Amino acid sequence: MITRKTRDQIALMRRAGTVVAEMHELCIRAAKPGATTADVDRAAREVIERRGARSNFLGYGSPPFPGVVCTSPNEVIVHGIPADDVVLEEGDILSIDCGAIIEGWHADAAVTIPVGEVDEESKRLIEVTRRSLEAAIENVVEGRRLGDVGAAVEQVAEGGGFSIVREYVGHGIGTAMHEEPQVPNYGPPNRGLKLKEGLVLAIEPMVNAGGAETEVLADGWTVVTRDRRRSAHFEHTIAVTANGPEVLTLPW
Q: What's the average pLDDT block by block, 10 residues per block, for the chain (252 residues)?
A: 96 98 98 98 98 98 97 98 98 98 98 98 98 98 98 98 98 98 97 98 98 98 98 98 97 81
What span, in angstroms and rounded, lies between the C-alpha atoms of 140 and 147?
11
At residue 146, the pLDDT reads 98
β-strand partners of 64: none
65 contacts 81 by C-beta, under 8 angstroms: yes
Is the entire prediction scored with pTM above 0.85? yes
7-247 is a CATH 1.10.3720.10 domain: no
Classify each residue of 57-67 as buried b or exposed e, where b means 16 or more C-beta atoms within 10 Å of its C-beta: bbeeeeeebeb
CA Rg value for the chain: 17
At residue 80, the pLDDT reads 98
